Structure 1
């Protein structure tokens, strides 16, 4: 029997999804034990929010998942609105959907670049990052920031759409639709990619349901769960879209789910562009130092590219939240699931299994 060697995969490693580390016990190239380590990143977001006024707090939560901050902004804003009894305009709701679906698209492109790099595919990361930059250009024009937007705001959104903005969104979608068949040809239908991903990191549907997995992980195991359809928010119940699923439950199935979700996001965005209503973008808010919440609590959810994001908010009659509790998909995906899937896997598969789960470490260190 060979000796077991302990190594650390990350935090400074191109094959991890953020500032985290996997402690691995290796028997040759086979992993016998895997332990997730976090604590390398900024953390304590929940307490930072609780120590700031309601208006100040929304600048904090976008850091909870850097690659896709907008679902966090939407959760906090909608939770505050529910507690305060605020009703936002239909135009503001449509604009929020526009932002959330653009965020989903760029997050899937970032995933595609990371998974391509994990497999050793040199072309896909360059194409996908370049394609993503066109979406970040739109965010910069709309919000002033490419990554952190701080745009979805209690009562609506922070500013209206610039003149001609929807036309520029449509142009980016046209360009992406032309490119997607090329990604199919060189990546998703590539025999080498299939050989690396098929049969790797298999998750059974029963396990996914029992452990609360979400997003492409649960849908890749054949369970069609999506907060946008199951518990509609904003104007998602007025839009037509499908929930893509695959039955194999492996890393390749999760890749196909993300690829199909790109089509659905484009489909949603085109409906938003065609149906964007006129009107105001912000309801009237109380004065900054008079904006208080009742002694009440609520729980809101948003479907991110990685899965369901849930926010528990409790007010106590002041301009501060008494309690904020964040439940992101990375909690269970990085601990319950990743540590289990890596046992028996090969060292070369660590990065691609991790990427297939869509783990975002700041969610864990919230």
Structure 2
């Protein structure tokens, strides 16, 4: 503390903090004059942990890089290995991967909605959203055997085929969500108190988005329709019909509206996957685990997570290990380049709202 300012730590125990991170804040009354991000040490060092394990052993680690949405990590890792090894993934496996990724996006947006509602003090929203998310976790458990960590998207395809009754359960879930989302509009997105708390808060400039490499709802809320699924299609996204929602205000409310619209698009994609899902193998023929070697070479793969573009650089050296792995998630620029200046001049009560609106996952930073 110096002069008229006081220093406090906002998190990691604060319920409005996204994950195990903390903001060191210098306050002049309720106004923030300086903000410094501390990302914590719960999950860290993933890249070196993976490089010191065989590819098959590393497969079980990558999902920890972002707990709220682990599946893009699994898909990037598997696709990178496939490109290095020249493995061809069946159409059925690609459609199943899209299904998993879009379910992951839906549950991640519901978890975000729960956090944002709780940060405002709108307690019915987190109760509803967490309950809705649990129905998606039930599906994950039926498909993969796990609710949060799935370890399902595997090099060469997926670990096992879909349950026979999965289409029926997924259709029922999508019908339930479509019926529930207008209720979220009524009590949250169209709520005058919510608009008063979010509109004009945490405003991001479109030019800054391009200059600093921001991603996901942050850039789409500034009117930039950037999405890896459209810009550099992977799996079978180029065969599916969906839109990229955008807003122009660039504030926390615009980012909320983008996420809300993306939930509609994920439901739209999932219905198409159910209609077009082909028969066929769910896994290609792989070498025996003892002979699983990654040829020399390099590749970079990326996917669109709920938080934005998520990329993996991978280099093989002819052994069972990767010579180099580097993960590039959106959180590193959102938590430092963006969050710190956004908080300067903001009110203490808005810290959690701004942080949640950016979609930060701390282990992506300390990876």
Q: TM over 0.5, yes or no?
A: yes
Question: How many Å separate the matches in 1 of 2:40 and 2:142?
Answer: 34
- Contact 2:22 2:40 (C-alpha < 8 Å) held by counterparts: no
Give 4+ residue runs of structure 1 displaced > 6 Å after superposition: none
Per-residue deviation, residues 168-221 of structure 1 (Å, max 9, x unmatched): 011000000000000000000000000000000000111111100000000001
Question: How many Å separate the matches in 2 of 1:116 and 1:170?
Answer: 27
2:78 is aligned to 77
1:14 is aligned to 15
* SS at 2:312 equivalent: strand
1:219 aligned to 2:220?
yes
- Contact 2:43 2:65 (C-alpha < 8 Å) held by counterparts: no
State the 1:52 CA deviation: 1.1
2:40 is aligned to 39
2:118 is aligned to 117
State the 1:39 CA deviation: 2.8
* SS at 1:142 equivalent: helix
- Greater mean alpha carbon deviation, residues 221-230 or residues 47-56: 47-56
- Contact 1:83 1:296 (C-alpha < 8 Å) held by counterparts: yes
Per-residue deviation, residues 105-152 of structure 1 (Å, max 9, x unmatched): 000000000000011101100000000000000001111110000000
Question: How many Å separate the matches in 1 of 2:42 and 2:222?
Answer: 31
Question: How many Å separate the matches in 2 of 1:42 and 1:222?
Answer: 34
* Alignment of structure 1 residues 86-105 onto 2, 5 Å: 86-105=87-106
Question: How many Å separate the matches in 1 of 2:3 and 2:125?
Answer: 38
Number of aligned residue pairs: 366
Question: How many Å separate the matches in 1 of 2:56 and 2:157?
Answer: 13
Per-residue deviation, residues 31-75 of structure 1 (Å, max 9, x unmatched): 000000123312111111111111111100000000000000000
State the 1:2 CA deviation: 6.7
- Contact 1:81 1:154 (C-alpha < 8 Å) held by counterparts: yes
Give the TM-score normalised by structure 2: 0.99
- Contact 1:73 1:150 (C-alpha < 8 Å) held by counterparts: yes
Question: How many Å separate the matches in 2 of 1:54 and 1:294?
Answer: 12
2:302 is aligned to 301
* Root mean square deviation of aligned Cα: 0.9
1:359 aligned to 2:360?
yes
* SS at 1:135 equivalent: helix
- Greater mean alpha carbon deviation, residues 292-301 or residues 259-268: 292-301
- Contact 1:2 1:27 (C-alpha < 8 Å) held by counterparts: no
Per-residue deviation, residues 64-103 of structure 1 (Å, max 9, x unmatched): 0000000000000000000000000000000000000000
Q: Any stretches of 5+ residues in structure 1 without a counterpart? A: none
Question: How many Å separate the matches in 2 of 1:347 and 1:364?
Answer: 24
Question: How many Å separate the matches in 1 of 2:208 and 2:315?
Answer: 32
* SS at 1:146 equivalent: coil
- Contact 2:206 2:223 (C-alpha < 8 Å) held by counterparts: yes
Question: How many Å separate the matches in 1 of 2:155 and 2:309?
Answer: 21
2:109 is aligned to 108
1:267 is aligned to 268
Per-residue deviation, residues 279-330 of structure 1 (Å, max 9, x unmatched): 0000000111211112100000010000010000000010100000000000
1:143 is aligned to 144
* Alignment of structure 1 residues 133-212 onto 2, 5 Å: 133-212=134-213
